[in-house]
Amino acid sequence: MNVLAPMPSADTPPAGDPWYLLQAYEAERALWPALPRLAHQAQFVEGLAALRDHYDAFLFDAFGVLNVGQRAIAGAAQALATLRRAGVPFRIVSNAASIPKPALVARYRAMGFDLTETDWITSRDVTAEALHACPGHWRWAVVAPPGADWHDLPLAQARRCDGPLRDGDDAVLFLAAQGWDEAAQARLEGSLRAQPRPVWVANPDLISPWEGGWVREPGGWCAGLEARTGAGVHRVGKPFGAIFEHALASLPVALPRTRVLMLGDTLHTDVLGALAAGLHAALVTGAGASTGLDVARASDLTGIVPHWVLPALGATSVPAASAARHA
């Protein structure tokens, strides 16, 4: 696991400090979609049941809402099962890009989530769509760990990139950051400075909280890459609109956007992205990126105001934050 020394500063934050994550995202604010004019205030509720009658469909983030690491968050699977039984449409909208969907679904089934491939809309899906629009003759350098599987992506010619680019590489796909390090990044950036080429980032997340530190995600490695190298960088996934449009289009009926609620644990991806897409947004604070966050202060700092704040999807006897700390 590539648990990082922190970014962007050299200070070591306490593991799980939500302000560190918030400030890392805010420092890159120019990357993110513009916030629409907001006229609401956040309301606090206990769980998904309190929101059920306000919306006709729900979109859920995965990491930090359904699970932390390899452990399901208490009550999450039951909350989704309750929606399913009631016939309420929902999708999981995730920046999980590193593995094909069958493997992703299997991982969540092992944690107790009765979800199928059609329930998931991932940044890998949206990346595949975007790659279809690229010239078919391009040769791709794919940043991914050894053995990574990208057979489901429309890459006619691709090789794994471990740092430096070759003369024949036409473009870079930054698919997964496992195993990537500063030395590999320096070699990649040196190649891009010498010959700028398009870079596609399949997960715009900057960093993710893990026990004992932070993991830098593809979006974190590529923050500021345009300015450093002259390469054109294309980010695909939350908070950018295509993944939300894909999710809405996948619902069984067309709905007014204000009747669709996105629930996630990250203010700058889930909440900002949903608001920019015209959806309603809820911040889930009991586990994941916003555990312990002073939401009112965070909204004052960023201007990003969720419609709702809740600790977890399910009302549980064990607080989700406590469960996460022991995960």
Stretch that binds Mg ion, among 34-42, 138-146, 180-188, 260-268 (CB under 5 A): 260-268
Both tokens of 8, joined, read: 């962007």
Assess 64 for contact with Mg ion (CB under 5 A). Answer: yes
Shortest reach from residue 65's CB to Mg ion, in Å:
6
Assess 273 for contact with Mg ion (CB under 5 A). Answer: no
The three-state DSSP-derived secondary structure of 245-305 is HHHHHHCCCCCCHHHEEEEECCHHHHHHHHHHCCCEEEEECCCHHHCCCCHHHHHHHHCCC
Q: Tokens 């918030």 identify what position?
A: 22
How far apart, in whole angstroms, are the C-alpha atoms of residue 193 and residue 26? 26
Q: Check the CA dihedral 184-198-219-155 and report its sign.
A: negative
- Choose between 2 and 185: whose C-beta lies nearer to Mg ion: 2
Stretch that binds Mg ion, among 26-34, 63-71, 119-127, 233-241 (CB under 5 A): 63-71
Assess 265 for contact with Mg ion (CB under 5 A). Answer: yes
- Choose between 66 and 153: whose C-beta lies nearer to Mg ion: 66
How far apart, in whole angstroms, are the C-alpha atoms of residue 190 and residue 27? 24
Stretch that binds Mg ion, among 62-70, 154-162, 187-195, 311-319 (CB under 5 A): 62-70
Shortest reach from residue 320's CB to Mg ion, in Å:
13
How far apart, in whole angstroms, are the C-alpha atoms of residue 118 and residue 113? 13
How far apart, in whole angstroms, are the C-alpha atoms of residue 41 and residue 37? 12
Shortest reach from residue 210's CB to Mg ion, in Å:
12
Stretch that binds Mg ion, among 10-18, 59-67, 185-193, 247-255 (CB under 5 A): 59-67
Shortest reach from residue 73's CB to Mg ion, in Å:
11
Backbone angles phi, psi at 248, to 5 degrees: -65, -40
Assess 119 for contact with Mg ion (CB under 5 A). Answer: no
- Choose between 119 and 265: whose C-beta lies nearer to Mg ion: 265
| Binding-residue pattern over the window 215 to 254 for Mg ion, x denoting contact by CB under 5 A | ----------------------------------------
Total chain residues near Mg ion (CB under 5 A):
4
Both tokens of 293, joined, read: 């966050």
How far apart, in whole angstroms, are the C-alpha atoms of residue 286 and residue 325? 10
Assess 61 for contact with Mg ion (CB under 5 A). Answer: yes
- Choose between 140 and 240: whose C-beta lies nearer to Mg ion: 240
Shortest reach from residue 8's CB to Mg ion, in Å:
20
- Choose between 217 and 265: whose C-beta lies nearer to Mg ion: 265
- Choose between 67 and 191: whose C-beta lies nearer to Mg ion: 67
Helices (H), the chain: 18-27, 76-85, 101-110, 123-132, 182-194, 218-221, 225-229, 241-250, 272-276, 295-302, 320-325
Q: Give the three-state DSSP class for 72.
A: strand
Query: Which residues bind to Mg ion, rule: CB under 5 A?
Result: 61, 63-64, 265
